[in-house]
Amino acid sequence: MERAAILPSVNQNYLLCPSRAFSTRLHSSTRNLSPPSFASIKLQHSSSSVSSNGGISLTRCNAVSSNSSSTLVPELADIDWDTVGFGLKPADYMYVMKCNIDGEFSKGELQRFGNIEISPSAGVLNYGQGLFEGLKAYRKKDGNNILLFRPEENAKRMRNGAERMCMPAPTVEQFVEAVTETVLANKRWVPPPGKGSLYVRPLLMGTGAVLGLAPAPEYTFIIYVSPVGNYFKEGVAPINLIVENEFHRATPGGTGGVKTIGNYAAVLKAQSIAKAKGYSDVLYLDCIYKRYLEEVSSCNIFIVKDNVISTPEIKGTILPGITRKSMIDVARTQGFQVEERNVTVDELLEADEVFCTGTAVVVSPVGSVTYKGKRVSYGEGTFGTVSKQLYTVLTSLQMGLIEDNMKWTVNLS
């Protein structure tokens, strides 16, 4: 029972990239792509009453031209939403915005999703000058409205990272507007309520050519999206962590606190060794004392003891997760005491409950931790009572099932 929307159809040159630096493969594709509707994009915090000039209003993308005829475009992509997992399922469009050496980003545009072309000498390929972000868009129960979760936080984090990596970054407004345009252009790929979300992946990279070590002379900001299924589709599967004693993810003064691409290839080794031994992931310790918890490869960690929630404090070597920060606030509003401080491995081994947070899983219960050959288990193969409660509140808020008193969600309609 698919409803259809009437949208202006677009001419053949639709999204030809004006820049010679990029080519996309799909220009002449006959895939049935849904053209985006830019006619009435309004952005406002869903439960705050932002006036029409207080919100960001978006104008038609320059790269899109329309003719007068109309086509019927299904509101939902015709795929089996129950089988969508966590792999990349490319959607229709990606957003591309460039910045030259003066540090100003030009107006970005939507292009068909496809390969990009960059110089072999690009800064990102040679010296790893790159950052990524990750956030999700949920379709609300009414089927039409889409909710973003705290996109300004991702924008700010990218700006902090860019500062550390000597890169210019889009402003918070540019970032949020770009995410909005991209999600709306790919709206038919936002899963139906309860079937998952649209994962949004912004990238910022030095695409200008360099030879000697220096910041790149040109930067590109790209956003692509992919529908992802519910993480806990087959029921909750608590993860089994091994505490890593040899490898470290981050060092004081390094880049562990920013989402730079270079942090991630470096953790693959420890992660693959752990996986080969049957663990789900690695829990890192501080590199000086090898005693204090840091985080898992791509999510933050929390412990619960006697109803008090503790998580390692942010001080440069831990990625400041937006889910982490939101979880702390949700827990406090639920009446829990939350401490951000140094947390030792010993405390971990004695905890009542352990869980991880990150955009992909939101909250993932930890079923066991292994440290120096000693395995400690938590719970009975499911969420602990505290993590279950917090998971329910946070996801209900993200999906628009409860009122967003925190004013965290942004409603796109």
Ligand X SMILES: *Cc1c(COP(=O)(O)O)cnc(C)c1O
Nearer to ligand X, 298 or 311 (CB): 298
Nearer to ligand X, 15 or 393 (CB): 393
Is 324 one of the binding residues for ligand X (CB under 6 A)? Answer: yes
* Residue 62 CB, nearest approach to ligand X (Å): 31
* Residue 55 CB, nearest approach to ligand X (Å): 24
Query: Distance of CA 9 to CAs 70, 73, 76, 412, Å?
Result: 5, 9, 17, 22
The letter for the amino acid at 195 is: K
Is 111 one of the binding residues for ligand X (CB under 6 A)? Answer: no
Q: How far apart, in whole angstroms, are the C-alpha atoms of residue 384 and residue 380? A: 8
Question: Exactly one of 7, 64, 319, 386 binds ligand X (CB under 6 A); which one?
Answer: 319
Question: Tokens standing for 4?
Answer: 């259809």
* Residue 49 CB, nearest approach to ligand X (Å): 27
Question: Exactly one of 134, 193, 215, 262 binds ligand X (CB under 6 A); which one?
Answer: 134
Phi, psi of 202 (to 5 degrees): -80, 145
Neighbours of 208 (CB within 10 A): 24
Question: Exactly one of 202, 321, 384, 400 binds ligand X (CB under 6 A); which one?
Answer: 321
Q: Which stretch binds ligand X (CB under 6 A): 23-31, 278-286, 356-364, 387-395?
A: 356-364
* Residue 316 CB, nearest approach to ligand X (Å): 13
Q: Say which of 156, 259, 305, 315 is annotated catalytic.
A: 259
Taking CB under 6 A as the criterion, which residues in 279-298 touch ligand X? Answer: 295, 298
Question: Tokens standing for 346?
Answer: 């010993």
Is 300 one of the binding residues for ligand X (CB under 6 A)? Answer: yes
Q: Which stretch binds ligand X (CB under 6 A): 94-102, 357-365, 381-389, 401-409?
A: 357-365
Is 359 one of the binding residues for ligand X (CB under 6 A)? Answer: yes
CA 184 from centroid of its chain's CA atoms: 17
Assess contact for 294 and 286: CB atoms under 8 A.
yes
Question: Exactly one of 44, 46, 180, 323 binds ligand X (CB under 6 A); which one?
Answer: 323
Q: How far apart, in whole angstroms, are the C-alpha atoms of residue 135 and residue 258? A: 15
Nearer to ligand X, 136 or 188 (CB): 136
Q: How far apart, in whole angstroms, are the C-alpha atoms of residue 260 and residue 266? A: 11
Roughly what angle, to the nearest 10 degrees, separates helices 151-164 and 322-333?
130
Q: How far apart, in whole angstroms, are the C-alpha atoms of residue 190 and residue 198? A: 5
* Residue 108 CB, nearest approach to ligand X (Å): 23
Question: Exactly one of 41, 176, 223, 322 binds ligand X (CB under 6 A); which one?
Answer: 322
Q: How far apart, in whole angstroms, are the C-alpha atoms of residue 364 and residue 239? A: 7
Q: How far apart, in whole angstroms, are the C-alpha atoms of residue 191 and residue 188? A: 8
- The 44-83 site mask, x for binding ligand X (CB under 6 A), equals ----------------------------------------
Nearer to ligand X, 98 or 324 (CB): 324
Q: Which residues contact 392 (CB under 8 A, 6 or more apart)?
A: none
Is 358 one of the binding residues for ligand X (CB under 6 A)? Answer: yes
Active site residue 275: no
Nearer to ligand X, 215 or 262 (CB): 262
Q: How far apart, in whole angstroms, are the C-alpha atoms of residue 122 and residue 21? A: 11
H/E run at residue 175: helix 172-185
Assess contact for 6 and 85: CB atoms under 8 A.
no
Active-site positions? 259
The contact set with ligand X (CB under 6 A) reads 134, 259, 295, 298-300, 319, 321-324, 357-359
